[in-house]
Chains A and B, each alone.
Chain A
Amino acid sequence: NAGVTQTPKFQVLKTGQSMTLQCAQDMNHNSMYWYRQDPGMGLRLIYYSASEGTTDKGEVPNGYNVSRLNKREFSLRLESAAPSQTSVYFCASSASQGAQLNQPQHFGDGTRLSIL
Chain B
Amino acid sequence: SQKIEQNSEALNIQEGKTATLTCNYTNYSPAYLQWYRQDPGRGPVFLLLIRENEKEKRKERLKVTFDTTLKQSLFHITASQPADSATYLCAPDTGGGNKLTFGTGTQLKVEL
Find out whether the CB atom of A102 lies under 8 angstroms from the CB atom of B49: yes
Q: Does B28 contact A (CB under 8 A)?
A: no
CB-CB nearest in chain A for B48: A104
A43 touches which of B32, B49, B51, B89 (Cβ 8 Å): B89
Tally of contact residues, B, Cβ under 8 A = 24
Question: Which A residues touch B34, using CB under 8 A?
Answer: 104-105
Let me know if A110 and B43 touch, CB within 8 A: yes
Q: Mark B55-68, 1 if CB is under 8 A from A, else 0.
A: 00000000000000
B43 partner, pick from A31, A104, A108, beta carbons under 8 A: A108
A101's nearest neighbour on chain B, judged by CB, is B98
Assess whether A45 is in contact with B89, with CB atoms less than 8 Å apart.
Answer: no
Q: How many residues of A contact B (CB 8 A)?
A: 27
Report which B residues bind A (CB closer than 8 A). 4, 8, 31-32, 34, 41-46, 49, 51, 89, 93, 97-105
Q: Taking beta carbons and an 8 Å cutoff, which residues of A are in contact with B?
A: 4, 31, 33, 35, 40-45, 48, 50, 58, 90, 92, 94, 96, 101-110
